[in-house]
Amino acid sequence: MGSDTTSITSRAVDRLSRWWFAPAPAERLAGLRILVGTFACVYLATRFGELIATAQTPIGNFEAVGIVRFALPAWLAIVLAVATLVLMIAFTFGVAYRVVAPLAAASLLWTLTYRNAWGQVFHTENLLVMHVIALACTPAADAWAWRATPIERPAGYGWAVKLIAAITVATYVVAGVAKLRIAGLAWLHGEQLRDQIAIDNLRKALLGDPTSVLAVPLLDHPGLFVTFAAGTLIVELGAPLALVHRRIGQVWAFAAWGFHVGVLALMSILFPYAITGFAYASLFPIERPLGKFATRLAALRRRNVRASTAG
Considering the domain architecture, whether residues 29 and 142 belong to the same structural domain is answered as yes
Considering the domain architecture, whether residues 49 and 182 belong to the same structural domain is answered as no
pLDDT digits (tens, 9 = 90+) for 167-217: 999 999 999 999 999 889 899 998 999 999 999 888 888 888 888 888 888
10 belongs to a structural domain: no
5 belongs to a structural domain: no
How confident is the model at residue 282, as a pLDDT? 97
Q: Please give the residue range of the domain that contains residue 49.
A: 24-156
8 belongs to a structural domain: no
Q: Looking at this protein, which amino acid is placed at residue 21? A: F
Considering the domain architecture, whether residues 279 and 190 belong to the same structural domain is answered as yes
The secondary structure of 33-81 as a DSSP string is HHHHHHHHHHHHHHTHHHHHHHHTS-GGG---BTTB-S---HHHHHHHH
What does the pLDDT average to over 89-114? 96
Considering the domain architecture, whether residues 134 and 188 belong to the same structural domain is answered as no
Domain boundary among 106, 131, 156: 156
How confident is the model at residue 308, as a pLDDT? 64
Alpha-carbon torsion 61, 67, 69, 71, what sign? negative
Considering the domain architecture, whether residues 48 and 81 belong to the same structural domain is answered as yes
For 285, phi then psi, to 5°, come to -75, 70
Considering the domain architecture, whether residues 62 and 195 belong to the same structural domain is answered as no
Domain total for the chain? Answer: 2
On the question of pLDDT at 296 being above 60, the answer is yes
Nearest to residue 127, comparing CAs of 246, 276, 296, 291? 276
% of the chain residues with pLDDT over 90: 64
11 belongs to a structural domain: no
Considering the domain architecture, whether residues 142 and 184 belong to the same structural domain is answered as no
Considering the domain architecture, whether residues 134 and 185 belong to the same structural domain is answered as no
17 belongs to a structural domain: no
196 belongs to a structural domain: yes
Considering the domain architecture, whether residues 183 and 69 belong to the same structural domain is answered as no
244 belongs to a structural domain: yes
Domain boundary among 109, 126, 156: 156
**HEC secondary structure over 212-229:** CCCHHHHHCCHHHHHHHH
Domain boundary among 131, 156, 181: 156
How confident is the model at residue 161, as a pLDDT? 97
Considering the domain architecture, whether residues 130 and 196 belong to the same structural domain is answered as no
Considering the domain architecture, whether residues 125 and 181 belong to the same structural domain is answered as no
For 65, phi then psi, to 5°, come to -150, 140
**DSSP alpha helix (H) spans, 94-186:** 97-116, 126-136, 158-183
What does the pLDDT average to over 272-284? 97
Considering the domain architecture, whether residues 116 and 236 belong to the same structural domain is answered as no
On the question of pLDDT at 122 being above 90, the answer is no
121 belongs to a structural domain: yes
On the question of pLDDT at 1 being above 70, the answer is no
Nearest to residue 161, comparing CAs of 290, 295, 36, 277? 36
